[in-house]
Amino acid sequence: MPETRSMANGNGAAVRSAKPAKDEEENIFLFYPNLIGYSRVVLAVASLYYMPLHPRTCSLLYSISCLLDALDGLAARHFEQSTKFGAVLDMVTDRCTTACLLVFLASAWPRWSIVFQGLISLDLASHYMHMYATLSMGGSGQSHKKVDESRSWVLKMYYSNNKVLFTFCALNELFFIALYLLSFSSPLLSPTLLKDGESPASLHMGSPAAPKPSMIFTSPWSAGAMEYARANKMDSTVPWILAIISAPVMLGKQWINVIQLVKASKWLAEGDLLERRRQGLPRKIAKKTQ
């Protein structure tokens, strides 16, 4: 109940005035969008656990985690719970899960590892530079999703339209999930899946010859060995279709990452020039007169 105290009015009668109670402090960490973000992290970690040998389970958990990325934004707008912590949590989760999947692809296809390493570096660098530039140059109320059209109409369209943003992010992840499934199902990309006597040199595009399953799993009846056998019998038709459909969008996403990196770098450089001018740099040294 609110605290009350007695006061005397002009006639000497005691009256009570209510003192407003202190507002309850909100717990940002328990906001609905952030709870969804925590569930995404749990699903992502679970998908990583199943990633080496359980492609179906891993793909399902990973896909659900990615789809929840759209739900937390809807919850933030519906419950008016948009926070900087939630925005950072969302971006960090996206970057980490994608990087982990690309690390697996680099290990599945060592000959193409430099490509996956480059994609990881571009993704992390472009988003870090963009977020740092917007937060340091745009003021206290600036968000990484608020991009002025004069700086880049591509980034403006990408971040301001939720449908465009979701489409690019979803199909980008779908492409890498399809590659992940192909590492278990396509002999064209993974020659180790070919039967004995069916490994022409022209097909050696992926990993080198791998040891037999019996050398990896001590017991042929172990859960890992059973899943390994089932995975090698996966049909590659659907993953190939998904990869072909999503490939153009994935390439477009990498192009946007390059633009994002370049624009953020230029924005930071502009800020550096303004700061140097404010400090009167470079200082010109007066020539000594003889």
Is 94 labeled as catalytic in the residue annotation?
yes
Any idea which residue has 């917007």 for tokens?
A: 134
Residue among 94, 123, 196, 272 flagged as catalytic: 94
Q: How far apart (Å, rounded) are the C-alpha atoms in residues 40 and 74?
A: 15
Q: Which of 137, 236, 135 is closest to 145 using CA atoms?
A: 135
- Phi, psi for 11 (deg, rounded to 5): -90, 5
How far, in whole angstroms, is CA 238 from its chain's centroid? 25
State the Cα angle at 95 between 29 and 158, rounded to 5°: 95
Q: How many CB atoms lie within 10 A of CB 74?
A: 13
Cα separation values, 1 from 7, 19, 20, 23, Å: 19, 10, 9, 12
Dig out the tokens for 132 from the structure: 């740092």
Q: Among candidates 275, 83, 63, 263, which has minimal Cα distance to 174?
A: 63
Query: Does 282 sit behind a cis peptide bond, omega within 30 degrees of 0 on the bond before it?
Result: yes
DSSP label at residue 80:
T
Q: How far is residue 155 CA from its own chain's centroid? A: 17
DSSP string, 125-147: HHHHHHHHHHHHHS-TT--TT--
- The CA distances from residue 35 to 8, 28, 31, 43, 168, in Å, are 51, 10, 6, 13, 24
State the catalytic residues.
94
